[in-house]
Structure 1
Amino acid sequence: MAQVLAVPGDVRHGFSYNISFNRDFGRITGIAASSKGNIVLCDHNNKNLILVDNIGNCLTELNVDSEPYDVAITRQNIGYITQPNTRSVLQIDPDRMVVLSKHTCNMLNTTVICASAFGNACYLGVNIHGQSYIHHFTSLSTIGETVYTAGQQNNIGSGVVKTHTIDGQTYFSCIGGQNFIMVRKQGTLYLNSVLENMSSIATIDTPTDICSDDNGHLYVSGQGSNNIHRLTQDGKVLDIPLHSQHGIKQPVAVCFDQNYTKLYIVNEWGKSVLVFDVYG
């Protein structure tokens, strides 16, 4: 694979294996860290949310009325849980695992898929007639009108399964069944420049989730390639810091804790979670 060297002064984190845990999960599809260092897991198949501490000890669980798919937690420590099958989003207190409110989209042809947080804001990935749009969380009762009014300015591609924002204006999205990442930036929809040249990203197979570290690097889980790629924000491949030799197998979701001291990887198609300590 053709890799792009880091620019002078570039700092890359290293990772050391800490622990792996499995609590008879049905299938974990989403993961996010709270401000207290705890982790919220979405167990899609068992219809519940699981709160664990930073080494996987279960603190509490919360049964929900529909399959939870994705979770994002803001700096204000408000969690947002997407429930695509009921077109709804739960607002929760993640460390008490208490539902604060439930918001449902009224449009039958609209599905709320994924969520991403930046600062105190939450951004939702919404699917309408096969096209995906970014919607700033306010009230889902008029989300269809909001998306259609905004039109192509909010379009982030077709069939988005996960999205991640670094600044509330740039969105990196994983597309179902595809081996590239769609990037939306400053009102222009385009394919990542590296992804237009597949030879430079040939080692990523079926990306499933994206997160970023405190150095501004992107981390992409490759479910089919059993690895984690590290990219620049313009899509240049820096390296593959974690792969099958580190226990990476069919990764589904990734996140850092809010202090960037731990990296969590939902592994084995949602059956376990790997915890890595971050250094450097």
Structure 2
Amino acid sequence: MEMAQVLAEPGDVRHGFSYYTSFNHDFGHITGIAATRNGNIMLCDYDNKNLILVDPSGIMLKHLCVDSEPYDLTITSQNIGFITLPNTRSLLQIHPDRMVILFKAKCDDLNTSVLCVSAIPNTGEDVISNFACFLGIKRHGSFYAMPFFKRCDEEINFRKLTDVVDQGGQPGQYIYPFPVHSRVLKFHALDEKSVFTCKGGQNYITYSQQYEFHGNITIATIDTPSDICNDDYKHIYISGQGSNILHRLKWDGKVVLDLRVHDKNAHDWKVIDIPLDSKHGINKPVAMCFNQNYTKFYVVNEWGKSVLWSLMFIDD
């Protein structure tokens, strides 16, 4: 068993990954991955139009055929899954451990679709929060991160969503959609007010906080970032094409007091390369996630053909 470790700065927690194993089930092209509350892992197989559920070690449990290519998925703290099918402008809500579709919503507007989704961590019933995830809405070539409220037992009204985007927000509410640059591939919500986005063809990720653009964080060894996730210490992890190394962003503790933040404040996130490389199994990573108690880490590998997983250790 090979091991790789990130050494801590004084006062920080030391993180590391112990490489364990990898698995595949004749995947076509895995584009999204997320962990359920029970510790299982759900995957979007884009080419085969399948949703796949595996146990924590990669053993196949269930698969579910869908009528279009699933691209991205997220699972909220309430253990509700959302899957995007952008080619048919559709969104599925699913019970992930039972693999039961709760509803499907489709947008009739040819200029609007939900491209990707991101759950907000730790929004259980004991947490005061208005919504549990963001929907990444593509609208007339622009991209918006739209809050999706926790009362998600009714079918999504896409007409209402498009009206909200066009009008800049719902009257009487403080929550507005994040306007994000075009060419977004994936995005990640750190909390209700902080969003990171990946853009195609760029070696940086964009950081927005409190609905203001905070700038770009450059990662020189990445051609195009492919996915973003975070651990329980709110460190950000990034995978990307052109790099077989995972990258971690750590906030250096600076407090921004200005109402409007300039690009330079994105540099308050320090980039740390995690010395995992191809000998540990990472090769052309596409997507990644932690399980919900942050003890295991999964990477969709080889352009989405396999998944490797490792144990995470934290040394105080």
The answer to whether TM tops 0.5 is yes
RMSD: 1.7
Paired residues of 2:146 and 2:177 also in contact (CA < 8 A): no
Question: Aligned equivalents of 2:276 and 2:200: distance in 1?
Answer: 22
Contact 1:6 1:238 in 2 (8 A): no
For 1:122, the equivalent position in structure 2 comes to 133
Q: CA deviation at 1:7?
A: 4.9
Q: What is the CA–CA distance in structure 2 between the aligned matches of 1:115 and 1:243, rounded to whole Å? A: 28
Q: 1:34 to 1:180 in 2, by over 3 A?
A: same
Residue equivalent to 2:299: 265
Offset of 1:53 from its aligned partner?
0.5
Tell me which residue corresponds to 2:105: 103
Q: 2:77 maps to which residue?
A: 75
The whole-number CA distance in structure 1 between the counterparts of 2:223 and 2:110 is 33
Deviates more, 1:154-163 or 1:212-221: 154-163
Separation of aligned partners in 1, 2:72 and 2:249: 22
Q: 1:9 to 1:22 in 2, by over 3 A?
A: same
Any gaps of 5 or more consecutive residues in structure 1? 196-200
Contact kept? 1:147, 1:154, Cα under 8 Å: no
Report sequence identity in percent. Answer: 58
Moved more, 77-86 or 154-163: 154-163
Question: 1:78–1:93: 8 Å Cα contact kept in structure 2?
Answer: yes
Provide the secondary structure at the position in 2 that maps to 1:242.
coil
How far apart are the structure 2 equivalents of 1:133 and 1:12? 35
Q: CA deviation at 1:191?
A: 2.0
User: What do residues 57-95 of structure 1 show as CA deviations (whole Å, max 9, x unaligned)?
Assistant: 000000011110011000110000000011111000000
Distance 1:12-1:130 versus aligned 2 partners, 3 A rule = farther
Report Cα offsets for 1:222-245 as digits up to 9, x if no partner. Answer: 221122101124431123242223
Using the alignment, how far apart are the partners of 2:98 and 2:213 within structure 1?
A: 39
CA positional deviation for 1:124: 1.0
Post-superposition offset of 1:19? 1.1
SS of residue paired to 1:13:
strand
SS at match of 2:191: coil
Aligned residue for 1:166, secondary structure, equals: strand
Q: Are residues 1:239 and 2:294 paired?
A: no
Q: 1:222-237 to 2 correspondence within 5 Å?
A: 222-233=240-251, 234-237=268-271
1:155 aligns with 2:157: no
Could you tell me which residue of structure 1 aligns to residue 127 of structure 2?
Answer: none
- With over 3 angstroms needed to count, the CA separation of the structure-2 counterparts of 1:106 and 1:190, relative to structure 1, is farther
Tell me which residue corresponds to 1:137: 148
SS at match of 1:203: coil
Q: How does 1:1-280 map to 2 (within 5 A)?
A: 7-118=9-120, 119=123, 121-137=132-148, 139-141=156-158, 142-150=160-168, 154-192=178-216, 194-195=217-218, 201-233=219-251, 234-280=268-314
Deviations 1:7-32 (A, max 9, x none): 53111321011110010000000000
Q: Which has the larger radius of gyration?
A: 2
| One-letter code aligned to 2:143 | S
Q: Counterpart amino acid of 2:111?
A: N
Q: Which amino acid aligns with 1:161?
A: L
Equivalenced residue count is 270
Normalised TM-score (structure 2) = 0.82
Q: Which amino acid aligns with 1:43?
A: D
Contact 1:72–1:117 (8 Å) recurs in 2: yes
Aligned residue identity for 1:209: D
Structure 1 residue 127: Cα displacement: 1.2
